[in-house]
């Protein structure tokens, strides 16, 4: 009987297992994960979980895995891969053979080297880390958030809603500057400052101090702030160390073709760790929730031979919830694009992203309908002049 091993028990790994069963794969399915928890949803960690609205974000109950004949190997991450022998070694010494292997190991947070080991300092990636951060929060406390990417911005919004004073530092000129560009980053910055966040752009963390527990932070501009809790969100890197020497090509992620095949026979990859071939711009990792499900479906179809080779490419989509607004991005937005802000009422906004004279993407806050209706024009590479003319009509 054919055996497929999926390494990574996050969203991409779970969705791949589901899609393989839907595609008719009737062999053995093994899902490997380093955490002991059942696969769970990560986006709520910086929002509902930190705010105390949810304790559990499990995606499927254990009965689901029994019903779908998915063997769970939790609590021991992969530590090595032998593609010639078709074997995965786990941290506990277990060796798993496979006929097909799917890498879905996701990301691990970047760390700031040289910081002292103090209580009250958190790096958010897992449900346990989110619950530990929540336990450290109480109204009136002073929090420092390092990094104004999506995680940092969502944490700031969550903490403010809980009555916590927040200092948010970001070495770039604006929040989300590297993702959405500085022009839209300024609109996001406005949301935070209007909510009372002490936002300090162009500033990073230099040093933390305290007696057992963090109490003070020195910033790169020479200033110091008293703090009760620190959350560090300075981005993540793909989990690929365990692939060293395996023959699987890695460069800022696992390099794949347009359906998830890697450089090694019988090895595939999906989700945040995977850099898939795209029509324009070579290979790219897309670190967003919806992408995991879309890639899982394509990969499962290719692995089983049941996929539609003529299926239209998906338009990338992601979102972030901040201050009661859903900030949505559709298409391949990039910091270097020409940005046209077509609506801005002081809180809600809508921006079109131009690249090579066509509509490459749309970003909006609180304007879901106006964002999502642009999917067809993005997929069709609509001329930006036509799009702007329609927007002004």
Q: What digits encode the pLDDT tens for the residues 288-302?
A: 787 888 899 999 999
- Residues near 341 by Cβ (< 8 Å), separated by ≥ 6? 183, 184, 187, 349, 350, 351
pLDDT of residue 280: 55
3-state secondary structure of 213: strand
Query: pLDDT exceeding 70 applies to what percent of the chain?
Result: 98
- Of 315, 314, 297, nearest to 306 by C-alpha is 297
Retrieve residue 145's tokens: 């958030």
- Of 93, 100, 63, nearest to 78 by C-alpha is 93
> Does position 117 have pLDDT exceeding 80, yes or no?
yes
What are the tens digits of pLDDT across the range 129-138? 999 999 999 9
| Boundaries of domain holding 342 | 324-392
Query: pLDDT exceeding 90 applies to what percent of the chain?
Result: 87
Mark which of 247, 270, 304 sits at the end of a domain: 304
CB 345 within 8 A of CB 326: no
Tell me whether residue 315 is in a domain.
no
Is 84 in the same domain as 116?
Answer: no
Is 57 in the same domain as 39?
Answer: yes
CB 127 within 8 A of CB 49: yes
Tell me whether residue 147 is in a domain.
yes
> What is the enclosing helix (H) or strand (E) of 192?
helix 182-194
CA distance 205 to 152: 14
> Does position 226 have pLDDT exceeding 70, yes or no?
yes
pLDDT of residue 243: 98
CB 40 within 8 A of CB 59: yes
Across the strands, what pairs with 88?
81, 96
Is 249 in the same domain as 387?
Answer: no
> Does position 339 have pLDDT exceeding 60, yes or no?
yes
> Does position 90 have pLDDT exceeding 60, yes or no?
yes
Is 116 in the same domain as 199?
Answer: yes
Mark which of 205, 232, 259 sits at the end of a domain: 232
> Does position 16 have pLDDT exceeding 90, yes or no?
yes
Is 116 in the same domain as 56?
Answer: no
* pLDDT band at 192; cut points 50, 70, 90: very high
Tell me whether residue 319 is in a domain.
no
CA distance 165 to 197: 7
* pLDDT band at 312; cut points 50, 70, 90: low
> Does position 84 have pLDDT exceeding 90, yes or no?
yes
Tell me whether residue 309 is in a domain.
no
CB 91 within 8 A of CB 74: no
Is 223 in the same domain as 120?
Answer: yes
Is 145 in the same domain as 179?
Answer: yes
CB 184 within 8 A of CB 148: no
Residue with the larger pLDDT of the pair 392 and 162: 162
Is 117 in the same domain as 219?
Answer: yes
Is 258 in the same domain as 115?
Answer: no
Number of domains in the chain: 3
> Does position 311 have pLDDT exceeding 80, yes or no?
no
CA distance 288 to 189: 22
What's the whole-number mean pLDDT along residues 156-183?
96
Q: Average per-residue pLDDT in the chain?
A: 94
Tell me whether residue 314 is in a domain.
no
Is 278 in the same domain as 355?
Answer: no
Is 103 in the same domain as 242?
Answer: yes
Tell me whether residue 318 is in a domain.
no
> Does position 146 have pLDDT exceeding 90, yes or no?
yes
Tell me whether residue 362 is in a domain.
yes
What's the whole-number mean pLDDT along residues 96-103?
98
198 CB-contact burial (10 Å; exposed 0-12 / middle 13-18 / buried 19+)? middle
> Does position 251 have pLDDT exceeding 70, yes or no?
yes
CATH of the domain at 169: 3.50.50.60
Angle between the N-to-C axes of helices 289-304 and 11-22, in degrees from 0 to 180, rounded to the nearest 10: 40
Retrieve residue 161's tokens: 């809603």
> What is the enclosing helix (H) or strand (E) of 87?
strand 87-90
* pLDDT band at 279; cut points 50, 70, 90: low
3-state secondary structure of 81: strand
> Does position 282 have pLDDT exceeding 80, yes or no?
no
Tell me whether residue 317 is in a domain.
no
Is 87 in the same domain as 36?
Answer: yes
pLDDT of residue 384: 95
pLDDT of residue 310: 57
Mark which of 232, 257, 275 sits at the end of a domain: 232
């Amino acid at each position: 009987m054919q055996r497929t091993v999926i390494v990574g028990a996050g969203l991409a790994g779970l969705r791949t297992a589901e899609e393989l069963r839907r595609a008719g794969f009737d062999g053995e399915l093994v899902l490997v994960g380093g955490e002991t928890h059942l696969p769970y949803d990560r986006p709520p960690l910086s929002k509902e979980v930190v705010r105390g609205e949810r304790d559990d974000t499990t995606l499927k109950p254990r009965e689901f895995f029994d019903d779908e004949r998915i063997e769970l190997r939790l609590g021991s991450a992969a530590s090595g891969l032998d593609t010639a022998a078709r074997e995965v070694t786990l941290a506990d010494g277990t060796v798993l053979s496979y006929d097909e292997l799917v890498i879905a190991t996701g990301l691990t947070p970047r760390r700031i080297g040289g910081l002292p080991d103090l209580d009250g300092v958190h790096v958010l990636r897992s449900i346990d880390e989110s619950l530990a951060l929540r336990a450290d929060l109480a109204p009136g406390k002073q929090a420092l958030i390092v990094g104004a990417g999506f995680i940092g911005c969502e944490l700031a919004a969550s903490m403010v809603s809980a009555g916590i004073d927040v200092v948010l530092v970001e070495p770039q000129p604006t929040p989300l500057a590297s993702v959405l560009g500085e022009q839209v980053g300024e609109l996001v910055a406005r949301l935070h400052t209007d909510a009372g966040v002490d936002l300090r752009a162009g500033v990073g963390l230099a040093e933390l101090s305290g007696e057992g527990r963090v109490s003070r932070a020195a910033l790169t501009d020479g200033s110091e702030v008293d703090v009760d809790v620190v959350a560090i969100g300075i981005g993540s890197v793909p989990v690929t160390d365990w692939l060293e020497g395996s023959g699987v090509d890695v460069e800022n992620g696992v390099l794949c073709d347009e359906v998830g095949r890697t450089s090694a026979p019988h090895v595939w990859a999906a989700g945040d760790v995977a850099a898939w071939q795209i029509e324009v711009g070579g290979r790219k990792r897309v670190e967003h929730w919806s992408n995991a499900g879309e890639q899982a479906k394509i990969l499962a179809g290719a692995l089983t031979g049941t996929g539609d080779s003529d299926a239209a490419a998906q338009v990338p989509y992601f979102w972030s919830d901040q201050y009661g607004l859903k900030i949505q991005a559709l298409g391949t937005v990039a910091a270097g694009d020409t940005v046209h802000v077509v609506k801005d009422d002081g809180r809600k906004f809508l921006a079109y992203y131009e690249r090579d004279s066509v509509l490459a993407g749309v970003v909006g806050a609180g304007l879901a309908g106006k964002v999502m209706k642009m999917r067809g024009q993005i997929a069709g590479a609509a001329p930006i002049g036509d799009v702007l003319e329609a927007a002004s009509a």
